[in-house]
Amino acid sequence: MDIESARAYCLAKKGVTEGFPFDNDALVLKVMDKMFALISLEKADRITLKCDPERALELRARYRGIEGAYHFNKKYWNSVCFNEGVNDQLVCELIDHSYEEVLRKLTKKQRAEYELLPE
């Protein structure tokens, strides 16, 4: 996978927006104004994704291309390198997981707003 494919996959999800809230290098993808992915344009070989803490540790132990994310709470965030033993199917699964982790934590009001968004 490459950053354009990862970006397109993220943007195809319901309610996803993108922007550069930190600097001109860090493309942030959000759902309901909550970040679920970050793609560094400078290091275009990886994506940072939210993850369940137990699963995050399991993934890091199993795949050399998955590690705790730099400048993020490593308990919840992984950096996934596209070309280091992590296939496209797994990258998509981890993007889905990150998106779902954010959706799980929405308030009832936010969930109701999300449900009203167009597909």
Q: Which CATH number fits the domain 3-116, given the four candidates 3.40.50.720, 3.40.50.10320, 3.90.1150.30, 3.30.460.80?
A: 3.90.1150.30
Domain ranges of the chain: 3-116
Q: Are 87 and 42 in contact (CB under 8 A)?
A: no
First to last CA, the chain: 25
- The whole-angstrom separation of Cα 52 and Cα 97 is 8
Cα–Cα distance measured from residue 39 to residue 79, given in angstroms and rounded to the nearest whole number: 10
The model's pTM: 0.93
Q: How far apart are CA 74 and CA 109, in angstroms?
A: 29
Per-residue pLDDT tens, the chain, 119 aa: give them: 999 999 999 999 999 999 999 999 999 999 999 999 999 998 889 999 999 999 999 999 999 999 999 888 888 999 999 988 899 999 999 999 999 999 999 999 999 999 999 88
